[in-house]
Structure 1
């Protein structure tokens, strides 16, 4: 979001108008937006993302209530926990582990969920409780169950929901297991990024029900919202992606740290050397760009790390996640990019082939890709679920 857009949203009224104009806040969700403010579910100390500074900043309700209210009513993500609760102090921690998502993302996913009166909804990832409260306002608190893996986060959300008069059932547990005690559900929604959709969610959603989840590959941190429909026999769920997002990952599916020295034990020059004419901007891509998403679908079990540019040079690294294969491209301004790769897989060759594949198919956007989940695993596809491949 641009600085200008941020300045045009001084409060909830302005935010609501902006969300309506952008088409993410549909008319059927407008009453819930008006009745359930995000501010009612935020703690006193928050770390909203400051668009001007390009980072999260600490804001205290007690010390600066005007700034706190301004961020609460802005279309920015707000971190509410760092480092799984081990963080102390006011400065941002190392890794954000719970947050209140951007309102535009929240209402886009709720729109995709397409709830109807009387629907029962299972939410995975309670966070602050705001998303569950919006669902409860629309469907009734008795029709919403939300699961949160972090006990302290679950307790805080439960208190906030009760205080607001929407006593949703908050379950402290592993969301990957769902909550069979409340099944079957008409809708399932996850507010955490996934690398694999738990089949338990398909089993707990009725035939014809809908599952809305942020999903992606380990290639990058970005996700895309998958809108899946459970088959008539209840054995699978399939559907297309609706657009890019980025969420904190389901804790059970976080990627462990990749240690560079475990891959490159000597000099990068020890790898097989070649060159590439692919431009730097096409490899690095936009943060939420479809190219990186598509390449990740074609290069499984691989992490791509784009380093900072210094003195006109930028290395991009790829690490195999099932072996010690690696690849590196060094981009230098005004020079041909050099490539090195080593290990059982030729990761650069796979990446280059994936770029060609995407180009040859007309540079498809997120909405042309889809995901199918079955008892045997998950598969992705382009345009036709019958033409799919495993991920």
Structure 2
């Protein structure tokens, strides 16, 4: 890395960001700490969109901050060194020279992961000098740059489906001189040319594990990805390890946040139903199921798969679960043992059933995923025996060939309370 970038005047902001991460307990790895101090984020995130419109607005009003403009610089620097996700690209647009100021319409197709989640993922992988690293869906390349700084020049490569984003990340990473490579291609196929990899990190959520990812994982290697469903509310984090013997082990756990899903896997939203639910929450009925705790991640993960098509409105006053495609919902309350339900689908009854199965299985917080089935079916189980909680992951959908403006929202993590 060139000395002018290492000694950039924003190094004080980087130090403050690192201190904040360490004080919160999110950052514990000294190698990653040094990388965060060395990599100037302003090179990788030279602009940022700020949403001006409130929830539900269509079209959406944005404001683009240009980091090189004196009127935007302080706000932009504060933003890119904050814990927020940085919005970078609307509708797969080219990123060479975006005009600053107000703009209307479009939806974000790429953004950076907010820093605590980046730190968590890279620490779970256990980076070290000399390890071969593959990033799937690197977006602007923030985590790729950090990984390259730790592993060493020539050891880290990213595969980005979106052409304009791949070119943008490649250009900015070259400026940093960390020795990372970005290739344009289908991240679901991995990157066989440089395989095998000691560490594989996916910046996109997938419904199941693409077989190429596992095949390209070296003995002693780790693979980390989000297993996504159509709900953003209850994601799962999958850690795959390959032992020195070649044996594959995959552990799935519920998490409060996860990466956005791959192209062709649109998330459901409760937003369009919010006003109707507030006006008429539904018919009250008794229930034995008190609202499960937000951090009962093992239960909510099971619900995402066994009661599909549900999404939670985290901004509602009481727990509200919506099946938007069935025009149905459930609202906890008004009493401790009552719930209000509406629509042809009894959403709360489905959650009662899943909860009973989860309790019967022993309140599992982690699940095993069998990636070795010769049929291609990836089965999830909480254990063995007749009371184990089980389900199968859906297969990967067929995708169109990559094009410059045919994108997935890459490299982004959304906390569940932001919906």
Match of 2:18 among 16, 19, 35: 16
In 1, Cα distance between equivalents of 2:145 and 2:314: 40
How many Å separate the matches in 1 of 2:103 and 2:362? 45
> Equivalent of 2:322, from 307, 317, 323?
317
Q: 1:296 aligns with which of 295, 299, 303?
A: 303
* CA deviation after TM superposition for structure 1 residue 101, in Å: 1.3
| Aligned counterpart, 2:93 | 85
TM-score (norm 1): 0.75
Distance 1:308 1:40, change over 3 A: closer
The equivalent of 1:4 in structure 2 is: none
Looking at structure 2, the residues matched to 161 and 382 of structure 1 have their Cα atoms a distance apart, in angstroms, of 42
CA contact (8 A) 2:148 2:180 kept: yes
C-alpha distance in structure 1 between counterparts of 2:334 and 2:158, whole Å: 50
Superposition map of 1:1-391 within 5 A: 11-25=13-27, 26-47=29-50, 58-61=64-67, 62=69, 63-85=71-93, 90-91=102-103, 95-230=107-242, 234=246, 236-241=248-253, 243-255=255-267, 275-277=285-287, 282=291, 286=294, 290=297, 293-297=300-304, 299=306, 301-304=308-311, 306=313, 316-318=321-323, 327-329=328-330, 333=334, 336-340=338-342, 342=344, 348-359=348-359, 363-365=363-365, 368-375=366-373, 376-382=376-382, 388-391=390-393
Tell me if the contact between 1:98 and 1:248 (Cα under 8 Å) persists in the aligned partners: no
User: Which consecutive residues of structure 1, in runs of 5 or more, have no partner in the other structure?
Assistant: 1-9, 50-54, 262-267
Go from structure 1 to structure 2 and tell me whether the alpha carbon gap of 1:85 and 1:275 turns closer, same or farther (over 3 Å shift): farther
C-alpha separation in 1, matches of 2:51 and 2:15: 19
Mapped contact 1:370–1:385 kept (Cα < 8 A):
no
Cα RMSD for the two superposed structures: 4.0
Q: SS of the counterpart of 1:377? A: coil
Secondary structure at 1:133 match in 2:
helix
Q: Any unmatched runs of 5+ in structure 2?
A: 1-11, 53-60, 274-279, 394-419
Question: The residue matched to 2:158 in structure 1 has which SS?
Answer: strand
SS in 2 for 1:141: coil
Contact 2:238–2:251 (8 Å) recurs in 1: yes
Is the Cα–Cα contact under 8 Å of residues 274 and 339 in structure 1 kept in the other structure?
Answer: yes
The structural deviation recorded for 1:121 is: 1.1
- Cα separation, 1, equivalents of 2:369 and 2:211: 13
| Whole-Å separation in 2 of the counterparts to 1:57 and 1:359 | 48
For the 8 Å contact 2:196–2:216, the answer to whether it is kept is: yes
Q: Deviations over 1:272-325 (max 9, x none)?
A: x88342678x27x64x7626633435515433354975xx899643268xxxx7
Sort the Cα spacing of 1:167 and 1:232 in 2 relative to 1 into closer, same or farther, 3 A.
closer
Distance 1:160 1:188, change over 3 A: same
> Aligned residue pairs: how many?
356
SS of structure 2 residue aligned to 1:239:
strand
CA spacing shift, 1:290–1:95, aligned 2, 3 Å: farther
Structure number with the bigger relative contact order (C-alpha 8 A, sep ≥ 6) is 2
Specify whether residues 381 and 170 from structure 1 end up closer, same or farther in structure 2 by C-alpha distance, changes over 3 A only: same
Larger mean Cα displacement after TM superposition, 289-298 or 75-84:
289-298
Per the TM alignment, residue 117 of structure 1 is displaced from its structure 2 partner at its CA by: 2.7
Question: Structure 2 CA distance, aligned partners of 1:178 and 1:34?
Answer: 29
C-alpha contact (below 8 Å) 1:207/1:234 kept by paired residues: yes
Higher mean C-alpha displacement, 66-75 vs 334-343: 334-343
Using a 3 Å threshold, how does the CA distance of structure 1 residues 313 and 77 change in structure 2: closer, same or farther?
A: closer
Does the Cα contact within 8 Å between 2:161 and 2:187 map onto a contact in 1? yes
